[in-house]
Amino acid sequence: MSLDRATMDERVPRDFETLRATILDRRESLPRRIAQIAAYALDNPDDIAFGTAASIAASAGVQPSTLIRFAQQLGFDGFTSLQQVFRERLRERNSSYDERLLALRAKAEGGAGHRAIFDGFVAAASTSLNDISRTLDETHLEDAISLLARAETIYVLAKRRSYPVATYIAYALGKLKIRNQLIESAAGLNAEMIAFATPADAVIAISFSPYAPATIEEARAISERGVPIVAITDSSFSPLAQFARVWFEVAEADFAGFRSLSATMALAMALTVGVGEKRRDSGRRRKA
Amino acid sequence: MSLDRATMDERVPRDFETLRATILDRRESLPRRIAQIAAYALDNPDDIAFGTAASIAASAGVQPSTLIRFAQQLGFDGFTSLQQVFRERLRERNSSYDERLLALRAKAEGGAGHRAIFDGFVAAASTSLNDISRTLDETHLEDAISLLARAETIYVLAKRRSYPVATYIAYALGKLKIRNQLIESAAGLNAEMIAFATPADAVIAISFSPYAPATIEEARAISERGVPIVAITDSSFSPLAQFARVWFEVAEADFAGFRSLSATMALAMALTVGVGEKRRDSGRRRKA
DNA sequence: TATGTATTGGAATTATTATTTCATATTCCC
DNA sequence: GGGAATATGAAATAATAATTCCAATACATA
């Protein structure tokens, strides 16, 4: 007597993500037609959720029995229970994006557990991304990228909360082989570092209220040397905005006293990669 | 000779909103049981989309035949075609968000301008947040927070792409007055730093493929000292997962070769603030 | 190349589910 | 209050759909 599949196999996937992972995992070892229906299922999950075994099989170009074998191979006892997973997915995802955000936030504010905290940060990040996506000024983006693309060295200036963004910019610039210098205060050598900057360079400065005094001071010093500044900050009253040649207003939502960085990150990456592209293009043009 | 209903009535509702309006409009004039199922349908559209005539009728407290009469009264030729409208709604609703994302991404990939690059990063961040929001394992979160809350010092270990997250964690832990130590390689003192760690401490380690060898090496060294590790990484094959007491799988979407950090950031913040809360709570309890 | 094993296609079977029917109850009007 | 029209419940029936089965084929192994 042999154990049946349900006992033998690891537990049957109950949610779509697990199912997806399982399929992707076994993809290589699946027979041809089963693989065919597997690919179809991941590509057209809605069809699986709503179709009948026959209609799905027809669309995927296999026999209904193959569809059932596929389900069984995954540990389900038939097509119907496989379908449940696809339906559940729709149920969970069905609420519109904004509704989901609201729900998340409500849960985060009302709820007690740590999951609620997590939801709060996700909601804050989503909101911020949404906002910046609506409000970003395209002209500013173009101006900033042009300015930065001309720079010999790009200095990156940010402290405290904004510092992670600065490190990411520095990392990305490095990968793109763009000369850059992160101005950090570890050894207190910032003043000397700044003294190297010339008007042929440029600065990306990031600071949010309450503005780190060091950032402001260094931004002032460097702008007095005639080095153009691109600033990311949170309002037109920001001292950074005064020194900047181009500046972006980014409103980050906050949760539990910590503001999201997602919008700032997205903008920072767009600037960085934008500069990378611009340089490649003009480099090519110059050669041609 | 009288015209039949289909000819008499205005066209049957083809989309959910029209259907909803029609029902609301006729509500007053509907017979009791039909009104009952009508109310149920508007309150539980998902059930109508997925259920069988019998199951829906049971939930709504009517007979299956009533359900069919309801459909016919609205001009459909049976329950099945009524159900189509409810299914279509789910399909569209579900795709609206994804489509928006896809559109963003398509614009980003196809489009030329720098705005497209920005959109790409926003899309990547949104996707990542979405994913993690669905897949995060709550138990892991609780375990990780408990583990970290017990630690005397929390060490934060991450390089390169993950380094920004580490700096943000360090910043947040600092603000919450939680003792922590960022393991950075500036002065090459990492080995010495690690030597201070004891099993009473804990580590948050972050690394994504391709895993920075230094991160892996240091994680191994520190785990051999018996210091528990909470890891954030991208797959169960990650070397980090092996050393970790608790680990999270975070799938970040990428754009233009740079992966988003938004999901990792959200998780990192949840861990940090979660630890802060837990400590406050248990501190209070101990005093009481 | 022969032999056993795994895979596939297609029809037969079984099950589930929608729909119809009809008897009964309720409502509304004269 | 009586009768017609409408509404409802419950079970019978028809339809649709899932599953199983078996023969045919492809594939791997010796």
pLDDT at A122 exceeding the cut of 70: yes
Q: Are B251 and B238 in contact (CB under 8 A)?
A: no
> Stated in angstroms, how far is A38 CA from D17 C1'?
21
Average pLDDT, rounded, for chain A: 85
Highest mean pLDDT among A13-17, A106-110, A112-116, A236-240: A236-240
Asked if B266 and A104 come within 8 Å (Cβ–Cβ), the reply is: no
CA angle in degrees (0–180, nearest 5) for B222-B227-B230 = 95
pLDDT of residue B153: 95
The residue with greater pLDDT, A113 or B170, is B170
The nt closest to A72 (CA vs C1′) is D19
Which chain B residues have a beta carbon less than 8 Å from that of A269?
121, 255, 258
Q: Which of B190, B191, B189, B223 is nearest to B204 (CA)?
A: B223
Residue range A73-117, pLDDT digits in tens: 888 888 999 999 898 888 776 555 555 566 666 666 666 678 889
Residue range B184-230, pLDDT digits in tens: 765 556 777 888 899 999 999 999 988 888 889 899 999 999 999 99
Query: What is the C-alpha to C-alpha distance for residues B200 and B251, in angstroms, rounded to an integer?
Result: 30
pLDDT at A129 exceeding the cut of 80: yes
CA distance A2 to chain B (A): 31
Domain extent listing, chain B: 5-88, 99-132, 136-287
**A168 in contact with chain B, both atoms CB, cutoff 8 A:** yes
Q: Are A86 and A48 in contact (CB under 8 A)?
A: yes
Query: What is the C-alpha to C-alpha distance for residues B67 and B33, in angstroms, rounded to an integer?
Result: 9
What percent of chain A clears pLDDT 70, i.e. is strictly above it?
Answer: 85
Q: What element of type H or E holds B80?
A: helix B79-110
pLDDT of residue A148: 96
Residue range B18-46, pLDDT digits in tens: 888 888 888 888 888 898 898 898 888 88
pLDDT of residue A263: 96
Please report where in the chains the tokens 């480099």 appear, as a residue.
A283
Out of B172-181, B213-222, B275-284, pick the least confident.
Answer: B275-284
What percent of chain A clears pLDDT 90, i.e. is strictly above it?
Answer: 48
Q: Which of B270, B271, B206, B193 is nearest to B243 (CA)?
A: B206
B5-88: CATH topology? Arc Repressor Mutant, subunit A (1.10.10)
Please report where in the chains the tokens 């490649």 appear, as a residue.
A280
Q: Which of residues 71-90 of A touch B (CB under 8 A)?
A: 87, 90
Q: How confident is the model at residue B141 (pLDDT cuts 50, 70, 90)?
A: very high
Q: Which of A94, A92, A70 is nearest to A19 (CA)?
A: A70
Which chain A residues have a beta carbon less than 8 Å from that of B212?
none
pLDDT at B238 exceeding the cut of 50: yes
Q: How confident is the model at residue B273 (pLDDT cuts 50, 70, 90)?
A: very high
Highest mean pLDDT among A16-30, A185-199, B61-75, B159-173: B159-173
pLDDT at B63 exceeding the cut of 70: yes
CA distance B91 to chain A (A): 7
Nucleotides of D under 7 A from a protein CB: 6-11, 16-22, 27
Nucleotides of C under 7 A from a protein CB: 6-11, 16-21
Q: Is the dihedral of CA B222, B226, B231, B234 positive or negative?
A: positive
Helix (H, G, I), strand (E, B) or coil at A249: strand
Q: What's the whole-number mean pLDDT along residues B48-53? A: 90
The nt closest to B34 (CA vs C1′) is D7
Query: What is the C-alpha to C-alpha distance for residues A75 and A72, in angstroms, rounded to an integer?
Result: 5
Which chain A residues have a beta carbon less than 8 Å from that of B168?
161, 163-164, 261
pLDDT of residue B195: 83
Q: Are A207 and A243 in contact (CB under 8 A)?
A: no
A103-128 residues labelled b (16+ CB within 10 A) or e (exposed): ebbeebeeeeebbbbbbbbbbbbbbb
Q: How confident is the model at residue B77 (pLDDT cuts 50, 70, 90)?
A: confident
Rounded to 5 degrees, what are φ and ψ at A186?
A: -45, -60
**A162 in contact with chain B, both atoms CB, cutoff 8 A:** no
Q: What's the whole-number mean pLDDT along residues A202-227? A: 92
> Stated in angstroms, how far is B234 CA from D20 C1'?
42
Q: For B169, which residue in chain A has the nearest alpha carbon?
A: A164
Query: What is the C-alpha to C-alpha distance for residues A44 and A33, in angstroms, rounded to an integer?
Result: 16
Q: What's the whole-number mean pLDDT along residues A217-239? A: 91
Asked if B46 and A186 come within 8 Å (Cβ–Cβ), the reply is: no
pLDDT of residue A11: 63
Choose the CATH number for A5-93 among 1.20.140.150, 1.10.10.10, 3.40.630.10, 1.10.3720.10.
Answer: 1.10.10.10
Which chain B residues have a beta carbon less than 8 Å from that of A168?
161, 163-164, 261
CA distance A244 to chain B (A): 20
**Chain mean position to CA A94:** 22
Helices and strands counted in chain A (H then E): 15, 7
Q: How confident is the model at residue B106 (pLDDT cuts 50, 70, 90)?
A: low
Q: Are A136 and B165 in contact (CB under 8 A)?
A: no
Task: Give the CATH architecture of domain A136-287.
Answer: 3-Layer(aba) Sandwich (3.40)
Asked if A91 and B46 come within 8 Å (Cβ–Cβ), the reply is: yes
CATH fold match for the domains A5-93 and A136-287: no
Asked if B266 and A172 come within 8 Å (Cβ–Cβ), the reply is: no
- Output Rg (C-alpha) for chain B, integer angstroms: 28
Task: State the best of A48, A273, A277 to mutate against chain B, taking most chain B CBs within 10 Å.
Answer: A273
